[in-house]
């Protein structure tokens, strides 16, 4: 770990991602209700997102990571839909 910390160029991209995810958590996701978080985010993106034309792909990805983290905090795991629509 000591060598990685010395190599700032290795750590900086990870920290930038983490800070953007934390920003999404504090600005939006932490205020979401349990009902709003009670869905499979990846499945939602597949159904309703437009990944080919989405100008905000990275913003969507940061939001998805923030939602997954909040789901883990509140529900002790990430929400996934199952075949029979139960979780």
Domain definitions of the chain by residue range: 2-75
User: What pLDDT score was predicted for residue 46?
Assistant: 85
Q: What pLDDT does 27 receive?
A: 96
What pLDDT is recorded for position 5?
Answer: 57
**Rounded CA gap, 16 and 72, in Å?**
21
* Per-residue pLDDT tens listing for the chain (87 residues): 556 556 777 888 999 999 999 999 999 999 999 999 999 998 988 888 776 766 788 888 999 999 999 999 999 899 998 765 544
- Kindly report each contact of residues 45-49 with a partner whose C-beta sits within 8 Å and lies 24 or more positions away, as own/partner: none
Using an 8 Å Cβ cutoff, are 26 and 32 in contact?
no
CA torsion angle 14 19 44 77 (round to 10):
80
**pTM to 2 decimal places:** 0.79
């Amino acid at each position: 770990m000591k060598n990685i910390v010395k190599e700032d160029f290795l750590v900086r991209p990870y920290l930038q991602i983490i800070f953007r995810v934390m920003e999404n958590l504090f600005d939006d996701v932490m205020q979401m209700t349990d009902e709003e978080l009670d869905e499979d985010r990846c499945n939602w993106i597949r159904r309703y997102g437009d990944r080919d034309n989405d100008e905000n792909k990275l913003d969507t990805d940061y939001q998805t990571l923030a939602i997954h983290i909040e789901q883990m905090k509140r529900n002790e795991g990430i929400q996934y839909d199952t075949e029979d629509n139960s979780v």
